[in-house]
Amino acid sequence: MDTATAQSRVAEIVAGLDGSMGVAAWTVGSEDPGIRVNADVLYPTASTFKIPILYSLYRMVDQGATDLDERIELTDAHRVPGSGVLQHLRVGLQPTIYDLAMLMTIVSDNEATDILHQHVGVERLHADLDELGLSRIRVPLTCRELLYTIVGMDASNPEHTYEMFRERARAGEYDKSGLGWDDSEGSGNDLTPPDQMSRLCELIEQGVGLSDEAREGVLDTMKRQTLNARIPAGVPEGVTIAHKTGSLRGVRNDAGIVYAEQPYVISIFSKHLEDEDAGVAAMVEISRTVWAALGDEEAK
């Protein structure tokens, strides 16, 4: 399938959704624009913002500013709701920075993420992104801050606790005016356009700003992803993919690198989905279409 045909097919899939979806995919290092639909529209990152955290963390390792073997003792204050396993374990566990990075990425552990988000720091995160020319990727909110806003809670209020969040979430007490739902430029939410997240993935694959060892560390972590029902479901079994998913109410995302004969980057982001299952099905079909255009050498 040629890219023009794939572009038309992806646009058709996106147009059929009750909600918004953006796509940006191209061959790594190519000057061809690839396949882009709503590629410059801002979408909530959800957990895909863990990619820039991972990138900045490994830059810190290169600079001698952190040590992957350093251990962090977990306390009740670290507990973060949502995805992951650490919130369910006893306090006193002492995972390494490496362990936290792996958990953050491959099972999208929110507690591990917030420890690393604070360890790296928003200022460093945004400075690294700005240096790469990716100033529209913004990640000011931790997972706790983000999740609390969508149920009308304030992470800075000590009376707003982990247990309170779980009660409100179970009861479906969502506050659609919360910052976590705001997709406007400069809102203070965690946001990205698909094209800039794809560009970040391309720069990681190319090793920009990373030593060879750090590049391999980032990619090895992303390749161990266990949540594979979106982009990977649209490519042939056995193809290596380095990626990270993200989910919130009405949001289903995935971004990464597909190691076809010529590797390509792909980001699929969504918001305001009325039917999240239909959104995931569309992502799989888009991934399949992009593979036919960029990955399947026999079909070209």
CA distances in angstroms from 238 to 148, 205, 254, 260, listed in the order given: 38, 19, 18, 10
| pTM score | 0.96
Confidence of residue 296 (pLDDT cuts 50, 70, 90): confident
Residue 300 has pLDDT above 60, yes or no: no
Under the phi-then-psi rule, with left for phi > 0, alpha for psi from -120 to 50, and beta for the rest, what region is 138? beta
Degrees to nearest 5, angle at CA 133 with 13 and 51: 60
Domain that holds residue 226: 3-299
Confidence of residue 195 (pLDDT cuts 50, 70, 90): very high
Tens of pLDDT, residue by residue over 238-266, are 999 999 999 999 999 999 999 999 999 99
Return the CATH number at 207: 3.40.710.10
Share of the chain above pLDDT 70, in %: 99
Residue with tokens 């699929």: 268
The mean pLDDT of 91-110, rounded to a whole number, is 98
**CB neighbours of residue 43 within 10 Å:** 26
pLDDT given at position 176: 86
pLDDT given at position 298: 66
Residue 223 has pLDDT above 60, yes or no: yes
Query: Whose CA is closest to 233, among 202, 197, 258?
Result: 258
The mean pLDDT of 277-284, rounded to a whole number, is 98
Residue 299 has pLDDT above 60, yes or no: no
Determine whether 91 is exposed, middle or buried from the number of CB atoms within 10 Å of its CB (0-12, 13-18, 19+). exposed
Radius of gyration (Cα) for the chain, nearest Å? 19
pLDDT given at position 58: 98
Tens of pLDDT, residue by residue over 128-184, are 999 999 999 999 999 999 999 999 999 999 999 999 999 999 999 999 888 998 999
Structural domain count, the chain: 1
Tens of pLDDT, residue by residue over 42-83, are 999 999 999 999 999 999 999 999 999 999 999 999 999 999
Residue 20 has pLDDT above 90, yes or no: yes
Residue 244 CA to residue 241 CA, distance in Å, equals 10
Residue 213 has pLDDT above 90, yes or no: yes
